[in-house]
Chains A and B, each alone.
Chain A
Amino acid sequence: MADVPRSAVIGRDGLDSLIRALSARGRTVVGPTVRDGAVVLAELSGGDDLPYGWGVELEAGRYRLVERADGAAFAHSAGPQSWKTFLHPQRERQWTADRDSDGAMTFSQEATPAPSYAFLGVRPCDLRAIAIQDRVLTGGPHEDSNYRSRRERALLVAVECTEPGATCFCVSMGTGPAAGPGYDLALTEVVDGAGHRFLVRAGTAEGASLLDEIPHRTADPGTRAAAESAVTAAADHMGRTMPPVDLQALMRGTLSAERWDDVASRCLTCGNCTMVCPTCFCTTAEDITDLTGDHSERWRRWESCFDLEFTHLPGGPVRATPHSRYRQWATHKLGTWYDQFGSSGCVGCGRCIVWCPVGIDITEEAHALARERDAHAPAEER
């Protein structure tokens, strides 16, 4: 391993080679590409599919593609999808049940091998989101074995953020803009007078062997410094912040705040935020029986805590009001996730802000809750 480079510089051709090398290893390469007026995640056939020259303009309830003169490939921030689309798909068959003429039941689970993905362009916030879903789906007493096999076979190429969007707040959540652990390769894009290039670092042996396989040159001090300063600068111009308080305690302490009424008056309970959130994992079980009546399939599909029937007791829904459903989502994401899974459930990607049809902003809500709590706290507790 001593001769394997742990860091290097590659150009656009290197990126193209990387995609080809990943495909040659039998991997399905998924990454950002422009489609339907957005940067979406889709299977890439080559480097040309990457969104070179596209940036995004983000605001609460607003997403627009904008052309960029510098030709950068990763100067956009999180798009409408996240990697959970692939690792924790929207619909999945879990098992089937068959009944014979005596009424005896047999259960079976299909043994189709999981696809071997390579994810190219995983943002630091999304890298953390994957780790959070790992904890939820494989870190408890029971594991989702389908998720585990997809996850174990997935290779992650992270791309650090140099152009955060107006809705980004990864610094507040401690997830970016520099890549944390968990990647096989991490890229930092540099576009300056010295050219368009990518600083590459390997995080695993497989990442290192890939880097060894593609055209690369030694990481020069100039590129290292430019990459580092671009990421540092990104940290300084986050579009949003969370209040600098213990968010778990804030959520626990504001369950009866008036602010929930305010946000409930705007929230349509459409559940978009839960669909775009890279950590939201909730699912529902569906049983489908064919016309013979002797073959039944168990499917699970994404479900949103904004659905009225999400939590239903024999007497009716537990969270009957938009007030309690928004509060459930926000307090789970920012507060009770710690109790259940040991971390925040929010990574600061800003998707829920962008894709909310009425522009509800979780950071604004958290600031408002903090203000309301402080206003009601006795002076000595402030």
Chain B
Amino acid sequence: MTATARRFLDALPAVYRERLLSFARDRSFTAGSRVFDEDEEAGLFWILRSGRVALDAQVPGRGPVVVETLGPGELLGWSWLFEPFRWHLGAAASEAVEAHEFDAARVRAAIEDDPAFGLAMTRCVASVAIGRRLRACRIRLLDLYGPANGAGRRGPP
């Protein structure tokens, strides 16, 4: 495990991993099915075991535009942990998905009951999901592969 581990469960101390998994149930999504939509209540969340999920935003005239894809080991959804507990983006299975599914209200209740578990969960969500995705997003903001921006390898002025 490293500080940059993307696999959510690997980043959680063993005792809290067991604790979290005690709330898990199996869930599968067929390719193309929607997992949630923007602004819906974030009542569930998932840790992907296999397959791929695309996070998207509805852009009029363009339909759902994919902003990022998530793969095995990754946490799908963090809005369930913070108010107002609503999804910021939509999500769809871009291929068949197997996942652990969690009931957000039960996990939040467990977090309220046990601050140590709460701290571990919050740290993990913040670093593995939010922090990582924020860093990735900032790198993409640089549009590094664009022709005018340093990608014309070994080109002169």
Question: Which residues from chain A sit less than 8 Å from chain B, CB to CB?
Answer: 309, 312-315
Give the distance to chain B from A313, nearest Cβ to Cβ, in Å.
Answer: 6
Is the contact region of chain B dominated by helix, strand, or loop, or is it mixed?
loop
> Which residue of B is nearest A315, CB measured?
B150
> In the complex, what distance in Å separates the CA atom of A300 from the CA atom of B150?
26
B157 touches A315 (CB 8 A): no
Q: Which of A309, A312, A314, A315 has the most CB of B within 10 A?
A: A314
Please name all residues of chain A whose beta carbon is closer than 8 Å to the beta carbon of B148 when the two chains form the complex.
314-315
Q: Are A309 and B157 in contact (CB under 8 A)?
A: yes
Kindly report which residue of chain B lies nearest to residue A314, judged by CB atoms: B152
Q: How far is the CB of A33 from chain B (nearest CB, A)?
A: 41
| Closest chain B residue, CB of each to CB of A309 | B157
Complex CA gap A210/B34 in Å reads: 94
Q: Output the least CB separation between A285 and chain B (Å).
A: 9
Contacts of B99-157 to chain A: CB distance below 8 A: 147-152, 155-157
Question: Across the interface, which residues of A come within 8 angstroms of B151, CB to CB?
Answer: 314
The size class of the interface chain B forms with chain A is under 10
Cα A314 to Cα B145 in complex, Å, equals: 12
Cα of A309 to Cα of B156 in the assembled complex, Å = 10
Q: Report which B residues bind A (CB closer than 8 A).
A: 147-152, 155-157
A312 to B150, CA, bound (A): 10
In the bound assembly, the distance between CA atoms of A313 and B152 in angstroms comes to 9
Beyond known contacts A313-B150, A313-B155, A315-B149: 13 more, CB 8 A cutoff? A309-B157, A312-B156, A312-B157, A314-B147, A314-B148, A314-B149, A314-B150, A314-B151, A314-B152, A314-B155, A314-B157, A315-B148, A315-B150
Interchain residue pairs with CB less than 8 A apart (16) = A309-B157, A312-B156, A312-B157, A313-B150, A313-B155, A314-B147, A314-B148, A314-B149, A314-B150, A314-B151, A314-B152, A314-B155, A314-B157, A315-B148, A315-B149, A315-B150
CB neighbours (8 Å) of B150 from chain A are 313-315
Q: Which residue of B lies closest to A312 (CB)?
A: B157
Closest CB-CB distance, A284 to chain B, in whole Å? 11
Closest Cβ of chain B to A298, distance in Å, is: 14
Q: How far is the CA of A314 from the CA of B155 in the complex (A)?
A: 7
Closest chain-A Cβ to B97's Cβ sits at a distance in Å of 39
Determine how close the nearest CB of chain A comes to the CB of B150; give it in whole angstroms.
Answer: 4
Distance, CA A312 to CA B155, complexed state (A) = 9
Q: Which 6 A-B pairs have the closest CB atoms?
A: A315-B150, A314-B152, A312-B157, A314-B155, A315-B149, A313-B150
